[in-house]
Structure 1
């Protein structure tokens, strides 16, 4: 990849969800490509500050900002702050994954599903909506980090896959409607990682070790992924190497979705 990975665009990047494993890996990758990065967090300030510190080790500016995805006003404020700090915004990555639990659809209270939609899908739309003026000016791009469960459904995973299916529709809408302004939008489907949310669900008992063994047997590459694998795909999609790629969904899953 060229040294000027973003085609000389002014501004920096916003990574929503910088306190998680994927968000951290993405922020570090963007920094390696030479971009300043604002990372957001919902509750884990210490982890987000650590991410920002790791980004600064690459010699670029970075800060961590609290963001409640369920508050559209705060979303607009945080996006405006990132635009002001970096002198523009050419890249937005949605890598937040609101904590959920594994539940059978038949036992899931509609109110809980509605709340997950409000935060995950509604929050994603709010961020993209707020960032579009800056992205148009920079002819920049959006990447939404999603789930492979929208290709191969995972039992008891509707709290994750449902809202992210809505996010996929938004990615396609932005790609189709904003291309005339030079704005691109793509998504990355996350397979089964051995860190991040998967580890949280294992530690909580929502996913049992035997479940992971069964899943491993369904992965052609016979291994679980790493956050850095997702970050590598995101890094490609936001760079000028992918300047003619928009409206696409790339699964990074070791072949699990086949």
Structure 2
């Protein structure tokens, strides 16, 4: 039976599904039996490879290129999703951005506005154009956020600041849309060995001294895996968390405690 008791009929939408953590999220959701519609920004090859892999799980899979900053494209995307799949029961915001590590005093106004447009305004576009479909039968939002909200990580302002604003939106959706059986939660990420982290490590931005310093502040003395993130998302998105809303799960090895 589709969903295996974890999801209703319909589709899980994963924004940024072709990325490191996003890929594992798509795999876990598909393995749980729900249809998947995921997006990519520019790497079509990686998206096609994931779509082919997901096809082997026996669920319906589709992918689409999407720039979340383009409101018209986002509106058209969710219109097609509703038409093609019927119910949208889950929206996961897993898009990541290639942002530099800078102190607040080193930011330019152009860089700040660009990141806000991608991250915060992009999230609002997704929320604004998916809510009407979600209100019809209820559903779940899961936002991939940052454990930097628990304890300030120096030079990570471009990740943490927009996500702080998004977290306020998540709380607001949980409060205001609960009457429509809509839940909204976040997964706060620490250092996960995938995507942007691997790139910055390979470029020498994160050297051994940085690694040692970060691990010294963790309760669990190692970094996380994308599978760790996907398990948390699977729980929050599924019916197993049917009475959980407005909450955060920190997948960060104890960062901040």
The TM-score bracket by the shorter chain reads: over 0.9
Structure 2 gap ranges (5+): none
What runs of 5+ residues in structure 1 fail to find an aligned partner? none
Instruction: Determine if the alignment matches structure 1 residue 4 to structure 2 residue 17.
Output: no
What does residue 250 of structure 2 align with?
Answer: 251
1:138-193, CA deviations, whole angstroms, 9 ceiling, x for partnerless residues?
21010000110111111100011111111101100110110010000000001111
* Partner in structure 2 of residue 208 of structure 1: 207
Alpha-carbon distance in structure 2 between the residues aligned to 1:224 and 1:23: 17
SS at match of 1:257: coil
Native 8 Å contact 2:137 2:180 kept in 1: no
Counterpart of 2:184? 185
Shift of 1:76: 1.0
How far apart are the structure 2 equivalents of 1:148 and 1:50?
30
Contact 1:11 1:83 in 2 (8 A): no
Alignment-derived partner of residue 218 in structure 2: 219
What is the SS of the residue equivalent to 2:161? Answer: helix
- Which residue pairs with 2:237 in the alignment? 238
Computed over aligned residues only, the root mean square deviation of the Cα atoms, in angstroms, reads 1.2
Question: Structure 2 matches for 1:1-258, cutoff 5 A?
Answer: 3-6=4-7, 9-258=8-257
CA distance in 1, matches of 2:193, 2:97: 18
CA distance in 2 between partners of 1:223 and 1:176 (Å): 35
**C-alpha displacement of 1:66:** 0.5
- Rounded to whole Å, the distance in 1 between the matches of 2:80 and 2:216 is 46
SS at match of 2:187: strand
Structure 1 CA distance for aligned equivalents of residues 202 and 62 of structure 2 = 30
Q: The residue matched to 2:113 in structure 1 has which SS?
A: helix
Q: Say which SS state the counterpart of residue 92 (structure 1) adopts.
A: strand
Counterpart CA distance in 1 for 2:194 and 2:87 is 33
What TM-score do you get using the length of structure 2 for normalisation?
A: 0.96
Q: Distance in 1 between matches of 2:76 and 2:168?
A: 25
1:204 and 1:134 map into 2 onto residues whose CA distance is 42
Counting matched residue pairs gives: 255
Query: What's the TM-score, normalizing by structure 1?
Result: 0.96
Q: Deviating runs (4+, > 4 A) in structure 1?
A: none
Conservation of the 8 A alpha-carbon contact between 1:15 and 1:93 = yes
Q: Check 1:195–1:209 CA distance in 2 against 1; reply closer, same or farther (3 A cut).
A: farther
Q: Give the Cα–Cα distance (whole angstroms) in 2 for the partners of residues 152 and 47 of structure 1.
A: 33
